[in-house]
Structure 1
Amino acid sequence: MKRLLLLVLATFACRAFADDRPNIVWISAEDHGPHLGCYGDSYATTPHLDAFAANSLIYTKASSNAPVCAPARTTIISGIYPPSLGAHNMRSRVPSPSYLKFFPVYLRDAGYYTTNQSKEDYNLETDDKGWHESSRTAHWKNRPDPQQPFFAVFNFTGTHESQIRNDNESPHHDPALAPIPPYHPDTPETRKDWAQYYDRLSKLDAYFQKRLDEIEAAGLADDTIVIFWSDHGSGMPRGKRYPGWSGLNVAMIAHVPEKYQHLAPSDYMPGGKSDRLVSFVDLAPTTLALAGIKIPDYYHGQAFLGPNLAPAPRYSFGFKGRMDERIDECRTVTDGRYVYIRNYYPHLPHGQYLWYQQQTPTTSKWYQLFKDGKLNAVQSAFWQAHPAEELFDLANDPHETVNLAKNPAHQQTLTKLRAEMAAHQNRTRDLSFIPEPMLRKPTLAGVSPAEFFSNYFEPNSNRLELGNDSVSKYWRFANLLSAAPEAVKAALPEAIDATNDDEACVAVVASELVALHARDAEIRKQALETLVSYARYPENELILSLQAGVALDHAHQAGIELPESAKQLVADHESIPGWAKSYRPRLLERFQE
């Protein structure tokens, strides 16, 4: 009897505690920026989201940290900047370090019912993601105890980039009235795609209200904190995948009911706007704070809702790694007005040729017009090599079209943001300087890159120690790809020797440099054959084979004749993982035409 009484009391105590904790619901949508009526967009038709915002707090300077879904969602689930985990490249699928728990694990272990409907797309592999259920039917309604607090995520995919390409059965927005950014050419394709994009936002609006109605119908509106966010910039080209503000800036709206106003920030008011810098790395600590759970010490972000808020951060950081089949590496920092972009491959354009992105009519038309020489300077910039540093003033140039990095009047701002970026990379142990083929070695062995490469950092410091190793050799030749002709000429003998380097990714980048710049036909041919040998798969690791294939494509696009062996590379192979099935075949098509 005594035992039964204790059980009843324990159950009552648990429910009493549960009743004091808020339910938390996230409603997210893919591939769109703050193109909503509540953000001042007069072309948008989003009445339900606008009404929600009128009773909530709008964050005007929210960012996704990454301009594409998998790295962005990796940031969210981990509470850590993915470059610190070697998980910043698109669909890189790396093991989680031993110390890391996905944040839903903390919620579940604290008694929350956790559901996700249904996109995950994390770059991190782990045995426990923390979800009671993650599927197309996952729902907070499925919890076994109606008194149990819940954390539920609903992801709307109807705004995805791919949906811009589909005909809309009920078009609503007039293409003739579509707002065209200055970097896009004003063509019928561009207008139709922008109108279609806004049509999809209207579909999101209806979906959003359906989720709110479910909470209301269950009588839980007063007990539920709702956060709406979009997962990165628009699916239109130079939105998604672009490391500037048009790729990182997202919609984020938070509603805290009266019952939980003690968890709201001091500037919270219905219909209010906050210019606090918030980003996806802050979502995990914020959600744990709302649930009364201690925030792990290893998190990089800060809570922007909940008790005892930290002061607003002065800067927000972004990153970009490999996009699909194309290597890239960019870092971004903003103070809310100025955006600084550091491009580590300045010889490559922001608009690298990505087969998947080219399926959007605007993209393919824009690219063709560029090749035909029919664009102005602003419209051409996306397809051209960009400088190592870019600086934009969002107050006077919201579309990021005027690079101020060399403007004498802005050198103080440039220096400050450059220093903040370097400090951030050291503080967070950014692994991006380690080429992805090297990061893949521990990954394929089931070891976290963050743990494997921990000895690459200076003792008692977070600074990456390159030394005289393969990493420093790789970047020497990578930097020469954008160097002046005299510097390339002086380095060619060293590059020729490095085409036989024991580290394959060093041999690949050195071979590309030689293939593009060697005057001796036989030396060039040998470099191209080296690239062909590394482009073979499955003889070589997949990402390495892609990098060698991209180097061959660069040579092909430069008008260099490729050897017959390049045209005989086999595209399909059953061992290519599903996330990369299209990468290799589409890449080889580019230089085997």
Structure 2
Amino acid sequence: MKAKKIILSLFAIPLLFIQCGQPHQKNELSQPNILWITIEDTSPQFIGCYGNKTAQTPAIDKLAEEGVRFTNAFSTGTVCSPSRTAIITGVKTYKTGTGNHRSKYPIPGFIKGFPYYLQQQGYYTSNNVKTDYNVAQEKAFIAEAWDESSNKAGWWNRNPGQPFFAVFNYVDSHQSRTMTETYDWYKKNVLEQLAPEERIGENEFEMPPFYLDSPEMRKQFARVYNSIKLTDNKIGELLARLEADNLKDSTIIFFYADHGEGMPRGKTNGINYGYRVPFIVWFPEMYKHLSPWGTAGVATDELIDFTDLAPTLISIAGGEIPEHLEGRPFLGEKREKPVSHLNLSSDRSDNGIDMVRTVTDGRFVYSRNFMPYINEARYIRYMEIGEIKQQMRKDLAENKLNPLQKSLFEPRPAEFLFDIENDLWETQNLANNPEFKPVLEKMRELLKKEVIASRDVMFLPEYEVNLLSDTTTAYEFRMNEKNYPVEKIYEAASLAGFRGTEIAKKQVDLLTNPNPVIRYWSVLGLRSQSAETLMPFSANILSAMDDNYLPVAVIASAIAHEMFGNKKAEINLKKFCASKNPDVSLMAVYALLYIQNKEPFVETIWKVREMDDRNYNIRAACMDFLGSLEIVPNNPDYRE
């Protein structure tokens, strides 16, 4: 008997050494495998399990039928790179300063891609394949977060028995497929990849009411349904591989889109159509206890946003949640109680400058438009080359649009308030409806509270974020009250978008404030005022054209040219367009897109477009300017 025990102990020695060699690796049964399936540019109302009877999404629908479907899941941004930065860091982009699409500013070293923390718990982390993280030194950031990030990455490259976190991103529903590439490209790469019986016809769906219901528009919008169908087919293939590898019974599956639908008024716009996403979690039998809602076809209206993902996954993997993560775990033993509302944000997308802050409780979506003189169908080159956007502009010119459809091309109000429960397509703005005044005031206060508490650094003009990034990070800069008096800055910014003489007087008084960012917000607010309102203050605005803070001088010059026809303003704007500072140049060129008298600037814009040192966004804005005057065609051959 003693000899037998000795022999058994000898056999145990190699196993002991193996375990010591992998100190963080845990038993596969104690840690779930996690599969993330992400798709692009899709709103829930185009998915079958969310009530769309036209959609053909059987793979996604089956996940919902057997899992948990979220009805109040939101992206924290409305375009891919800010959205993905919030996902991978678990931090809101208005804290990291990464809200502007593809800006590549530094973040503190302690903010890591959250898969790093899963690795510390023994997980194999793989990403197939999109990253698009909006941070400086992206390659090093990716290398630290993922064991493998490539188009060959997957759970199949892990060590035997090692738990995995595997991400697969499908681009087939991306805006490039649904609107930006030519129709012939779409036919070859999407439509012809579907069997005839899988294709959704041009007259088989309901058109959202803010698009003209015409044969030309239906031809373009059918692309959304067929692109999602192709995506669903590929998801089905991935799930079949998971099952064939005998891993489905030990894997929690997450499915979601990276932000709202990639169509005009959706993607890049800070409203429900831009933020709300389809989101489903599927649990195998052995991990059903991690779901607080049960499983097998349940729906929850619990509010979640993308910054909740990192702490949730770290916690169910057995890790400790880092202090800088402020989202809440919504699954497992460390689940925290649901929240009453979410704070969301939308900033610049490519050459399309904008700033929106949003609060939602799921039913109501309140959006504060800080640059409302820029409309919802704003100029963004990547969208302007899409045939559907061109058709919309053509229909506008031919007076075919109803008031709702026209509104996409008109200045926005300072505030949107939509009741999604009763108005899914956001057709009735309730901000001026006395019945909803209590809701409006509550949302306003929640927004102000979040801006100040988070010290929202995106209230700095991008010009400033770029400058400070040479020596620090926006995340750290915002915490210094002397450098960034956020309450005073917000007080000035909170006037922007509201119109009238009394507001204008307050804004003019702030034009001489010693803080340049406060002066910036005062003049930016004046940009939304009418010429009649501004005429008594013309001397103040003309003086602001000489402000030594360039963002103030640019906007003041744009106002003076548009409202007063000032010749010096024209000269200034031409100089600013050619500025060596890329943020000044983009600000000036983009400002010219929203003035009536563009003719004096045509030669300047041509020259700026040809300068070797212009970045993509500046060239894109130049092409939008020339395209708006029909000097160049709006098609994929003229992307920049």
Q: Considering the TM-score relative to the shorter chain, is it more than 0.5?
A: yes
Partner of 1:133: 148
Residues 35-73 of structure 1: CA deviation (Å, up to 9, x unaligned) = 211111101001111112111100011111211111111
Partner of 2:493: none
Residues 170-211 of structure 1: CA deviation (Å, up to 9, x unaligned) = 461111122101110012232122222111111111111111
Partner of 2:477: 452
Contact residue 288 and residue 295 of structure 2 kept, 8 A: no
Partner of 2:98: 87
Contact residue 367 and residue 417 of structure 2 kept, 8 A: yes
Partner of 1:490: 536
Contact residue 529 and residue 563 of structure 1 kept, 8 A: no
Query: Cα 1:64–1:472, aligned 2, differ >3 Å: closer, same or farther?
Result: same
More helix by share: 2
User: What SS does the corresponding residue of 2:71 show, helix, strand or coil?
Assistant: strand
Give yes or no for the alignment of 1:22 onto 2:32: yes
In the TM superposition, residue 372 of structure 1 has moved relative to its aligned partner by 2.8
Partner of 1:544: 584
Query: Cα 1:50–1:591, aligned 2, differ >3 Å: closer, same or farther?
Result: closer
- Which of 224, 227, 230 is residue 203 of structure 1 equivalent to? 230
Give the whole-Å Cα distance in 2 for the aligned partners of 1:221 and 1:564. Answer: 60
Partner of 1:525: 567
State the AA in 2 paired with 1:500. D
Contact residue 535 and residue 544 of structure 1 kept, 8 A: yes
Give the whole-Å Cα distance in 1 for the aligned partners of 2:214 and 2:387. Answer: 10
The farther-off stretch of 410-419 and 318-327 is 318-327
Partner of 2:504: none
Residues 253-296 of structure 1: CA deviation (Å, up to 9, x unaligned) = 0012121223222x122111010011111111111122111112
Give the whole-Å Cα distance in 1 for the aligned partners of 2:66 and 2:523. Answer: 55
Query: Cα 1:574–1:200, aligned 2, differ >3 Å: closer, same or farther?
Result: same
In the TM superposition, residue 491 of structure 1 has moved relative to its aligned partner by 2.8
Give yes or no for the alignment of 1:570 onto 2:608: yes
In the TM superposition, residue 24 of structure 1 has moved relative to its aligned partner by 0.8
Partner of 1:291: 317
Partner of 2:162: 148
Q: Structure 2 matches for 1:450-489, cutoff 5 A?
A: 450-456=475-481, 463=487, 468-489=514-535
In the TM superposition, residue 464 of structure 1 has moved relative to its aligned partner by 6.0
Q: Structure 2 matches for 1:168-207, cutoff 5 A?
A: 168-169=191-192, 170=194, 172-207=199-234
Give the whole-Å Cα distance in 1 for the aligned partners of 2:462 and 2:40. Answer: 26
Contact residue 190 and residue 361 of structure 1 kept, 8 A: no
Query: Cα 1:294–1:383, aligned 2, differ >3 Å: closer, same or farther?
Result: same
Contact residue 426 and residue 464 of structure 1 kept, 8 A: no
Partner of 1:253: 280
Contact residue 183 and residue 379 of structure 1 kept, 8 A: yes
State the AA in 2 paired with 1:511. S
- Which of 380, 387, 401 is residue 375 of structure 1 equivalent to? 401
Give the whole-Å Cα distance in 1 for the aligned partners of 2:329 and 2:91. Answer: 13
Partner of 1:226: 253
Contact residue 253 and residue 282 of structure 2 kept, 8 A: yes
Give the whole-Å Cα distance in 2 for the aligned partners of 1:231 and 1:38. Answer: 18
Query: Cα 1:512–1:269, aligned 2, differ >3 Å: closer, same or farther?
Result: same
Give the whole-Å Cα distance in 2 for the aligned partners of 1:382 and 1:392. Answer: 15
Q: Structure 2 matches for 1:91-102, cutoff 5 A?
A: 91-102=102-113
Give yes or no for the alignment of 1:314 onto 2:324: no
User: What SS does the corresponding residue of 1:52 show, helix, strand or coil?
Assistant: helix
Give yes or no for the alignment of 1:77 onto 2:85: no
State the AA in 1 paired with 2:287. Y
Give the whole-Å Cα distance in 2 for the aligned partners of 1:44 and 1:485. Answer: 48
Give the whole-Å Cα distance in 2 for the aligned partners of 1:334 and 1:8. Answer: 50
Give the whole-Å Cα distance in 1 for the aligned partners of 2:300 and 2:49. Answer: 13
In the TM superposition, residue 13 of structure 1 has moved relative to its aligned partner by 6.9
The farther-off stretch of 376-385 and 186-195 is 186-195
Contact residue 254 and residue 282 of structure 2 kept, 8 A: yes
Partner of 1:163: 177
Residues 482-535 of structure 1: CA deviation (Å, up to 9, x unaligned) = 12445412332222222122211111111111111125xxxx221121111111
In the TM superposition, residue 576 of structure 1 has moved relative to its aligned partner by 4.7
State the AA in 2 paired with 1:540. K
* Structure 2 gaps, min length 5: 1-9, 180-185, 491-512, 632-640
Give yes or no for the alignment of 1:323 onto 2:344: no
In the TM superposition, residue 360 of structure 1 has moved relative to its aligned partner by 2.5
- Which of 382, 402, 425 is residue 356 of structure 1 equivalent to? 382
Partner of 2:68: 57
Task: Indicate the percent of aligned positions where both proteins have the same amino acid.
Answer: 34
User: What SS does the corresponding residue of 2:66 show, helix, strand or coil?
Assistant: coil
| TM-score in terms of structure 2 length | 0.86
Contact residue 531 and residue 551 of structure 1 kept, 8 A: no
Contact residue 545 and residue 553 of structure 2 kept, 8 A: yes
Partner of 1:589: 626
The farther-off stretch of 428-437 and 401-410 is 428-437
Q: How many residues align?
A: 580
Query: Cα 1:333–1:108, aligned 2, differ >3 Å: closer, same or farther?
Result: same
In the TM superposition, residue 457 of structure 1 has moved relative to its aligned partner by 6.3
Partner of 2:498: none
Give the whole-Å Cα distance in 2 for the aligned partners of 1:484 and 1:586. Answer: 28
The farther-off stretch of 12-21 and 201-210 is 12-21
Residues 387-430 of structure 1: CA deviation (Å, up to 9, x unaligned) = 10111111221111111111111100000111111111122221
Query: Cα 1:563–1:31, aligned 2, differ >3 Å: closer, same or farther?
Result: closer
Query: Cα 1:228–1:534, aligned 2, differ >3 Å: closer, same or farther?
Result: same
Give the whole-Å Cα distance in 1 for the aligned partners of 2:384 and 2:523. Answer: 29
Residues 357-390 of structure 1: CA deviation (Å, up to 9, x unaligned) = 1222222111222233221111111111011011
In the TM superposition, residue 109 of structure 1 has moved relative to its aligned partner by 2.5
State the AA in 1 paired with 2:36. W
The farther-off stretch of 558-567 and 303-312 is 558-567
State the AA in 2 paired with 1:533. K
Contact residue 417 and residue 431 of structure 2 kept, 8 A: yes
State the AA in 1 paired with 2:582. L
Give the whole-Å Cα distance in 2 for the aligned partners of 1:446 and 1:132. Answer: 31
Give the whole-Å Cα distance in 2 for the aligned partners of 1:348 and 1:580. Answer: 17
In the TM superposition, residue 551 of structure 1 has moved relative to its aligned partner by 1.8
Contact residue 43 and residue 261 of structure 2 kept, 8 A: yes
Contact residue 67 and residue 296 of structure 2 kept, 8 A: yes
Contact residue 529 and residue 565 of structure 1 kept, 8 A: no
Residues 54-113 of structure 1: CA deviation (Å, up to 9, x unaligned) = 111000111112111111111101111101111101111111123311111111222211
User: What SS does the corresponding residue of 1:454 show, helix, strand or coil?
Assistant: coil
- Which of 32, 55, 79 is residue 44 of structure 1 equivalent to? 55
User: What SS does the corresponding residue of 1:571 show, helix, strand or coil?
Assistant: helix
In the TM superposition, residue 446 of structure 1 has moved relative to its aligned partner by 6.0
